[in-house]
Structure 1
Amino acid sequence: MNKLYHSRDLPLYKDKPYFQPRRTPRGAGRTWRTVLIAVAGFITITILYASWGSSGSQSPIREWPDGDLGEELYRWMLSLEDNDKGKQTQAADWEERRQRVRDVFIVSWDNYEKYGWGYDEFKPIEKTGRQSAEDSMPGGMIVGALDTAMLMNLSSCVQSARRWIQNSLRFDQLHRVSTSEAATRILGGLLSAHYLSTTHPDLAPIRDDDPGAPGEDLYIEKATDLANQLLGAFDTPSGVPYPSVNLATAEGIPSAESLIAEAASLQLEFKYLARLTGEHEYWEVVEHVMKVVSDAQQQDGLLPMYISPAMGAYREKSIRWSKSWANSYYESLIKQYLQTSEQEPVYNDMWQEALRDIRKHLIAHSRKARLTVLGERPIALTEALLPKMDHRVCFLPGTIALAATKGVPLAEARKSPEWTTEKEEDMALAQELMKTCWAMYLATETKLAPETTYFHVDDNEQSGEIGPTASQPFEEADTSWKDDVDIHPEDVHNLQRPEAVESLLYLYRITGDEMYRDWGWQMFTAFVKHTAVVEQPPLKRTARGKVVGFSEMPSRIVGFSSLANANTLPPVPRDSMEVCWMAETLKYFYLLFSDREFLPLEETVFNAVAHPFPRFELKGDLKTGWEREPR
């Protein structure tokens, strides 16, 4: 019998070297394996549930102010509007501002917990939840936001999430899930929760995960269970994972193609799990994918959207950032290099090659304001540039700055013997792209960026040269730069995305320039003013039913919704709190307004959906294990 399913007293990462998981070959023994998983899962859940019930922490005290926080937040929102009308300015109190982000998180969490608990999509206006797609994984909202609650020191939210993970998060009954979503959101969220609860036990402390407590290893054991089922997606002729997997049978669901970002953005999670458990199989499968991606021998360092799991070859030539989540692949390169403490230089080489060719093929400048635009080549690298930027592209300014400095302050990085003119140019490019992303926000009526923005550029303006300095913000009186911006009617929605805030976090912590914090605060207050779901007081009626006014109850904010139209006032809500809102966007706002030493960049990497992992040293069998083919 496979040792993976033996009863044991120690969790996987503590019983080395005796635990050696091996998967059953495809098609062999699947029925018995599934039964064993179900039995083991039921026993584990029963024991953990009993332990939780006796832990004395079922009803912790809430960590927010007395009274109705929704009412208080509503009054604060009105004060923001009054300040706008009167042009009042106050000295920034960043501690108070990070607490406002915490308030927004609490209200968002409370409404979701009350009406949509367990679902990965929540409608805060209708007050209902549902699964957003056939291959979506239950719990994405809960597991995704768990580490945010930890960072915000919200023990009651953490306890609610732990209870759901313990009693309801099961993988043996899920027949189809997205491989990448399950890996980055669920596996990543569980691993991040394990990291924070063990390395930073003072954040949202609860007895259940204390050393020696029955629930000490809940996160890591759930993560290992999920990873073992996900390994089936890698059983392909090339080793490139299928985009979907049947978790009930641990088998990938055959597909002719996988998005490159889905195939090459799972590495941080599996590598960290391998580091925790010592199981090199997790490491090997994702390292092999990177070798296949590299060996496919593209003309330059930019990759098309799709790769074949059967052949390990690219299926077309377009270079796009939209609809393909290409950002996940590019950021994974430099983050893999940093995650393993710069001991895998191959990933730095791949990143530098990609950045060089971004400059060569994709950079243009707008006609009037000379905004730096990162476009697409929708047909091929040799064909015309399309000057459009999806909001997802706004991850790149921060990632470029992170790669140039490795996360240390810019003043310190410049003293390093490794600092070069090229790195200085990288920082200039990062700041210019950040300014363009900020322009995408300022260009709408709500000051919230649309999903996609087009720019008017000169036909011959396709070079990697950097435009004017990004050190100066936009002048309020000069709006001529808006002539360069073209927002199409089908792109006016805002999905509460995190990428611009992530880049602001990196740029602020690296440069120390308060301008980036100020931009972030303006973004945050725009979210509060224009995406808040306000519950009005009920109508007051006479005995005959005639409306005579409103009751004495005050208005209150009960949640936040993405927007169907962010370019009109009042905006049009979509009635959807996106899964990224609590897990990513609010997390990055909170960290942006926190001290630099709180979860420092020098010690941490964030995965594609904002889950923090530690940097670590390579050891034993955990190493790159391959070299690039000559280019």
Structure 2
Amino acid sequence: MHCSGLLGVLAMVWQVTAGPLPQDGSAPVERRYAANKTRTDAVKSAFQTAWDGYYKYAFPHDSLTPVNNGYSDDRNGWGASAIDAFSTALVMENWEVVNQILKFVPTINFDNTTSEISLFETTIRYLGGLLSAYDLLTGPLKTQAQVEEDSVQAILKQAKRLADNLSFAFSTPSGVPDNIIYFNPSRRANSTRNGLATIGTLVLEWTRLSDLTGSDIYGALAQRGETYLLDPKPALGEPFPGLLGTNVDIKTGQFLDGSGGWVGGDDSFYEYLIKMYQYDPKRFGKYKDRWLTAVNSTIEHLASTSSGKEGLTFLAMFSNTTLRYVSQHLACFDGGNIILGGLLLNDKRYVDFGLDLVYSCHETYTATATGIGPEVFAWQDRDAPSNAANNPPPPSDQADFYERAGFWITSGAYVLRPEVIESYYYAYRATGDPKYQEWAWDAFVNINRTCRVGSGYSSINDVNKPDGGGFSNFQESFWFAEVLKYSYLIHAEEADWQIQPDNSQKFVFNTEAHPVRLAAANYT
């Protein structure tokens, strides 16, 4: 069902008065949040459409190929879409789907797969999805769910089983894990290097597993690898304070380059620095300090203003200290993450900078023929010399588009990514400004219209063609976990997992948008 006609407002409004103090020390800003049942129902309908297609044609495999009603085992054949959908079904209180997944979880054979395993992807999707479901079912949804205790405990048992099977990935000379491993027999790929994000985006899930099981070993494994990122060596790995290169030597834990940014391969390392502090500020104060160092450097060195359309600020990539004026849809989580840090640290400067980034990523959506942002885009920096080798003008065939849009497209695909809507969510929770709900709704309507095909939703080839330029015939598992969850939450009623400007929430979202209970959040 297309949702472009579902524009009516059935709103329930409430007030939240706590939040970041203005810098002049005056009273907290009053925020008003509005729940919109018409819109949440529309997102629930899209979820059900995607789930029904997956469940009919692909389950218990990983992903649906909706054009031909087939399936793909792209994540080891353990039912990635089911586990990624688990926490979203729970926050939507879709008990039929919840019970289907609950029944499936104990049957997953985490001891066997015929394909290579990504430690990073398996952690954020499977381990994160299982732990989130356990936290929700033993916490705020305990009474609503009315499921048997044995079914809930089976979730944690399977999470532990999976982590036990993966743990040999960390058995390297430095403790920096090998991201690629195999089962049957268990062996590492003997990679010589691992990446910033694939090392630095394990610590939340593995630490949470330790806290739930009472066994320190899981968190210790991930935290050991993280130590090399918190104290990077040699100097070439940190060209700007707090901003790190991408590749790390597995044997020594030393950095091999000084190239990176808030982009794929690096992104969620920065994301997890502040989220570990959110998870437990007592244990992870150093993570917060490193996030502050990174963000302050980002504002000073990477923030770049487009020479095209006025008012656009993007974050450049870097190669040592040379900037590259290129970014990605993946990087558009940056505004939301910096807003979150501003809320946690009660510092309006970070919230305001994050809002500038959110606005600019919004403009990458409004400029295209589909109303959806591209996978990769570039711009010319307004303040750098226009004849500099690292600051070229747009290609001639996109010159007019650049003047109008303030960026040009270098890869026009859209692979059902969530980052722009994710940042709208944080912007809305920080400000209460309903324009962010409107932006999220527009994005959802455009994605729903353009990506709906066959038995579900598919990635598309070109966001700047009115029909999306054709389908790649693949429904990503994170479509369930992230796009649909953030599209829902920005219009949903208050709940323990909603971000609060006074930091009274009880959950932190992992990078796959699975809500994980904070260390100090207790339910009786």
Structure-1 residue corresponding to 2:252: 311
Amino acid at match of 1:447: G
Question: How far apart are the structure 2 equivalents of 1:152 and 1:199?
Answer: 15
Change (3 A) 1:187 1:152: same
- Are 1:229 and 2:165 an aligned pair? yes
Contact 1:101 1:590 (C-alpha < 8 Å) held by counterparts? yes
Mapping of 1:197-208 within 5 angstroms?
Answer: 197-201=137-141, 205-207=145-147
Contact 2:76 2:114 (C-alpha < 8 Å) held by counterparts? no
Mapping of 1:479-558 within 5 angstroms?
Answer: 482-488=404-410, 491-533=411-453, 558=455
Question: How far apart are the structure 2 equivalents of 1:431 and 1:390?
Answer: 17
Contact 2:497 2:508 (C-alpha < 8 Å) held by counterparts? no
Structure-2 residue corresponding to 1:113: 55
Mapping of 1:580-591 within 5 angstroms?
Answer: 580-591=478-489
- Are 1:611 and 2:514 an aligned pair? yes
Amino acid at match of 2:284: E
- Are 1:568 and 2:492 an aligned pair? no
Contact 1:334 1:348 (C-alpha < 8 Å) held by counterparts? yes
Mapping of 1:159-308 within 5 angstroms?
Answer: 159-173=99-113, 176-201=116-141, 205-207=145-147, 210-211=148-149, 214-297=150-233, 298-299=238-239, 300-308=241-249
Contact 2:333 2:420 (C-alpha < 8 Å) held by counterparts? yes
Amino acid at match of 1:614: R
Question: How far apart are the structure 2 equivalents of 1:251 and 1:235?
Answer: 10
Contact 2:9 2:37 (C-alpha < 8 Å) held by counterparts? no
Contact 2:78 2:108 (C-alpha < 8 Å) held by counterparts? no
Which SS does the other structure have where 1:217 is aligned?
helix
Question: How far apart are the structure 2 equivalents of 1:203 and 1:141?
Answer: 26
Give 5+ residue unaligned stretches, structure 2.
Answer: 12-35, 387-400, 500-504
Amino acid at match of 2:449: K
Change (3 A) 1:517 1:341: same
Contact 2:124 2:205 (C-alpha < 8 Å) held by counterparts? yes
| Structure 1 vs Structure 2 CA RMSD | 2.3
Question: How far apart are the structure 2 equivalents of 1:337 and 1:314?
Answer: 24
User: Given the two structures, how large is their TM-score scaled by the length of structure 1?
Assistant: 0.71
- Are 1:440 and 2:440 an aligned pair? no
Post-superposition Cα deviations, 1:84-124, rounded to whole Å, max 9, x if no partner, equal: xxxxx754641110111000000100001111112223211
Which SS does the other structure have where 2:250 is aligned?
coil
Contact 1:139 1:169 (C-alpha < 8 Å) held by counterparts? no
Change (3 A) 1:560 1:495: same
Change (3 A) 1:229 1:589: same
Change (3 A) 1:583 1:461: farther
Give 5+ residue unaligned stretches, structure 1.
Answer: 1-72, 81-88, 407-417, 463-478, 535-557, 619-631
Question: How far apart are the structure 1 equivalents of 2:112 and 2:456?
Answer: 33
Contact 1:446 1:567 (C-alpha < 8 Å) held by counterparts? yes
- Are 1:150 and 2:84 an aligned pair? no
Larger radius of gyration: 1
Structure-2 residue corresponding to 1:621: none
Contact 1:241 1:252 (C-alpha < 8 Å) held by counterparts? no
Which SS does the other structure have where 2:404 is aligned?
helix
Structure-2 residue corresponding to 1:127: 69
Q: CA deviation at 1:163?
A: 2.3
Q: CA deviation at 1:443?
A: 1.3
Question: How far apart are the structure 1 equivalents of 2:371 and 2:144?
Answer: 34
Post-superposition Cα deviations, 1:439-469, rounded to whole Å, max 9, x if no partner, equal: 010111000111012123225289xxxxxxx
Change (3 A) 1:143 1:204: farther
Amino acid at match of 1:317: G
Which SS does the other structure have where 1:216 is aligned?
helix
Structure-2 residue corresponding to 1:339: 279
Change (3 A) 1:361 1:92: farther
Post-superposition Cα deviations, 1:141-167, rounded to whole Å, max 9, x if no partner, equal: 111111111111111212222222222
Contact 1:136 1:178 (C-alpha < 8 Å) held by counterparts? no
Change (3 A) 1:597 1:155: closer
Question: How far apart are the structure 2 equivalents of 1:577 and 1:203?
Answer: 33
Question: How far apart are the structure 2 equivalents of 1:504 and 1:170?
Answer: 36
How many residues get paired?
472
**Identity over the aligned pairs, expressed in percent?**
27
Contact 1:233 1:241 (C-alpha < 8 Å) held by counterparts? yes
Question: How far apart are the structure 2 equivalents of 1:460 and 1:237?
Answer: 44
- Are 1:395 and 2:395 an aligned pair? no
Contact 2:417 2:479 (C-alpha < 8 Å) held by counterparts? yes
Amino acid at match of 1:573: F
Q: CA deviation at 1:205?
A: 1.9
User: Given the two structures, how large is their TM-score scaled by the length of structure 2?
Assistant: 0.85
Q: CA deviation at 1:570?
A: 2.1
Contact 1:234 1:252 (C-alpha < 8 Å) held by counterparts? no
Mapping of 1:444-483 within 5 angstroms?
Answer: 444-460=368-384, 482-483=404-405
Contact 2:496 2:507 (C-alpha < 8 Å) held by counterparts? no
Q: CA deviation at 1:171?
A: 2.3
Q: CA deviation at 1:172?
A: 3.9
Change (3 A) 1:265 1:499: same
Change (3 A) 1:203 1:533: farther
Q: CA deviation at 1:204?
A: 6.5
Amino acid at match of 1:610: A
Q: CA deviation at 1:428?
A: 1.6
Post-superposition Cα deviations, 1:257-316, rounded to whole Å, max 9, x if no partner, equal: 111101111001011111111101112112211212223233421111111111101112
Contact 1:190 1:223 (C-alpha < 8 Å) held by counterparts? yes
Structure-2 residue corresponding to 1:625: none
Question: How far apart are the structure 2 equivalents of 1:203 and 1:569?
Answer: 46
Structure-2 residue corresponding to 1:427: 351
Question: How far apart are the structure 1 equivalents of 2:448 and 2:115?
Answer: 38
Change (3 A) 1:124 1:453: same
Q: CA deviation at 1:332?
A: 0.5
Change (3 A) 1:598 1:521: farther
Change (3 A) 1:109 1:350: same
Structure-2 residue corresponding to 1:361: 301
Post-superposition Cα deviations, 1:401-457, rounded to whole Å, max 9, x if no partner, equal: 111112xxxxxxxxxxx75xxx32212210110001100101110001110121232
Match for 1:98 among 33, 40, 49? 40
Contact 1:605 1:612 (C-alpha < 8 Å) held by counterparts? yes
